[in-house]
Amino acid sequence: MTHHFHTRVYYEDTDLAGIVYHANYLKFIERARSEMVREAGISQTALKADQGIVFAVRRMEMDFIAPARFEDDLRVKTRLIGVKGASFDLDQTVWRGADRLYAAKVQVVCLAENGRAVRIPADIRQKLVTFQQ
């Protein structure tokens, strides 16, 4: 199942030309990832408090295809590509209507408090795979 997150482009997201500043796409897709994890039934706050683990972006490959502009309604699609021992990979795209504006391949790693990668717990893995196609 692909996760969908809707957002609007605000003035603060744009540069002087009214085009979304490139770094703000990272905010859009971060919010979408956070909502996907929440909708999978995973509380990142509880995960840290109870098990001492957190998720962090390890790697990202981005493609800026077309500009988003002030007041555009955007949809971020997030799809789980796969889950490995300590990480999972996502495909995230930003759309305005039928137009794809941005694409990213994202690897998220599970980290212990000491900053070392640790296996994703089995129950968390099961919840994540609901967003795999």
Of 15, 63, 99, 123, the active-site residue reads: 15
| Whether 65 contacts 101, CB under 8 Å | yes
> Which ranges of the chain would DSSP assign to H, the alpha helix?
24-39, 44-46, 122-128
3-state DSSP call for residue 43?
A: coil
Amino acid letter, 84: K
Is 15 labeled as catalytic in the residue annotation? yes
> What DSSP assignment string belongs to 51-87?
I-EEEEEEEEEEEE-S--BTT-EEEEEEEEEEE-SSE
Nearest to 53 by CA among 123, 130, 106, 117: 117
- Known catalytic residues are 15
